[in-house]
Structure 1
């Protein structure tokens, strides 16, 4: 059986658990449940309660009292956010976008009077999936949407030009647009994920994973897939190396995330049954296919 990785970021683990198993749930959940379930991730009661308090202060949980007992309910904002985030994470790598060969190139020059805007435009460009080819020259293989164009214009930089073209590079010293993206820097993440997921699949096939381990491994698999999705450059398949392992990693993600679901849900139901047996039926999680079928309507108001 594979070794479990150390748990870091108790708040993020808590939000991930809520977003994975309590989508759409409006019921109040006893704090003792969170203490019990987070103990499976190696967190003490004090650490679990501190994480609850911090998440509540951030506006994701609404606390209430019943006598001396504390309960928490997901806020509407948190429910929409968690469903959106779950879909973003789980859908990553499902398909490649079709590409027409066109690049979007943003060039800008920031004078000293506007130097405070340099960090802002770089941050926006990174969020929009651009890579920096040279200082002041950013590229990506996708057109700009209206909201993205507005976001760039609203920064207020005086000198900025956006080109849309299929560039033919006459000559370049490491100036291929693909060089703006750290493609090979992501390969170790994919290789590690493939190795670990393969071990988990072998353990599943040998029936060697307990419900406790299944819950933890499923959440950790989602965490690792999120890290890959956030690090992976959004490039079309034509621009990636021929041996790029994303498709292999994606198949293993589906195999582990879906294959661990039954045992992980059993563990979650065990925990909720100890403190709120009436909530056992609400514990459920979506498969990768069910996540793919989620629509936008529930979070458009964000």
Structure 2
């Protein structure tokens, strides 16, 4: 587990519910539970700050770090998708994005593609991406952030042929591979969950480590699962079973994990 990736998990799972700001001493102690050194944590924090994910302020001789507005948006997006929710049904429309970003701004084009992938878009044709979810506002927000609004167009579209909707999905996403990843998650965590429960009540620091690692592992599905509506999923879709296992494991570990975090968390002084 890389410190920078774990920091996203810590902020998303705990810090964002505590006002979004935390003392660096608390962070180093929390990540120390995973065997990470203070030097490694500080280096990761510095890197995230340079990349625009974190902001900092000094109070006396102490440094407090919070997620930037960009970082908070990323955490909000992740929270919407990582925790199971009831879908409202698909209206049959697609959100489509087309762009023509100049070669001299290639780095922004590559970053924009990564953002679209993270949101769950699939590549239909060259520079044309689509999703059955209503993501137009989020795409506009990203385009504004990267200052590429003059090169991006967003549409709400209705597909009238010639493929069936599920055939379109098969062209754009490798659902078989995603299903295999869910199978791997279930094969690993189902027996592990049962073994942990057999141990009885776990100490709070163990709950914190186990729950954080669980969220950290499950968060990886944000980068591969496009969060398709039920109407477009195959009959055998293991994502639902994985969601159920995650929820049960999470709820069992949550109270102790939260108590441990609260014990190490130091509230930031009021601004």
Q: 2:209 aligns to what?
A: 216
Change (3 A) 1:156 1:268: closer
* Contact kept in structure 1, 2:205 and 2:260, CA below 8 Å: yes
| Unaligned ranges ≥5, structure 2 | none
Alignment pair present for 1:101 and 2:95: no
Contact 1:106 1:161 in 2 (8 A): yes
Structure 1's 85 and 200: CA in aligned 2 closer, same or farther, altered over 3 A?
farther
1:158-197 equivalences under 5 Å are 164-169=157-162, 176-178=167-169, 179-197=171-189
Give the equivalent residue in structure 2 for 1:250.
243
| 1:132 maps to 2:127 | no
CA deviation after TM superposition for structure 1 residue 46, in Å: 2.5
Greater helix percent: which structure? Answer: 2
Kept after mapping to 2: 8 A contact 1:15/1:82: no
User: Residue in 2 aligned with 1:41?
Assistant: 34
Q: Which runs of 5+ in 1 are unaligned?
A: 1-7, 283-302
If you compute each CA radius of gyration, which structure gives the higher value, 1 or 2? 1
Partner residue in 2 for 1:297? none
Spell out, residue by residue over 1:85-142, the C-alpha distance to the aligned partner (whole angstroms, 9 max, x if none): 5623543x4233411334456678x6xx955578739727546643223335544334
| Structure 2 residue 234 is the aligned partner of structure 1 residue 241 | yes
Q: Is the Cα–Cα contact under 8 Å of residues 95 and 132 in structure 2 kept in the other structure?
A: yes
Name the CA distance, whole Å, in 2 between partners of 1:184 and 1:51.
35
Superposed CA RMSD: 4.0
Aligned to 2:23: 29
Note the 1:56-95 alignment, pairs <5 A.
58=52, 59-66=54-61, 70-74=62-66, 77=69, 80-81=72-73, 84-85=76-77, 87-91=79-83, 93-95=84-86
TM-score (structure 1 length as normaliser) = 0.66
Q: Among 112, 120, 138, which residue is 2:109 paired with?
A: 120
Corresponding residue pairs, total: 255
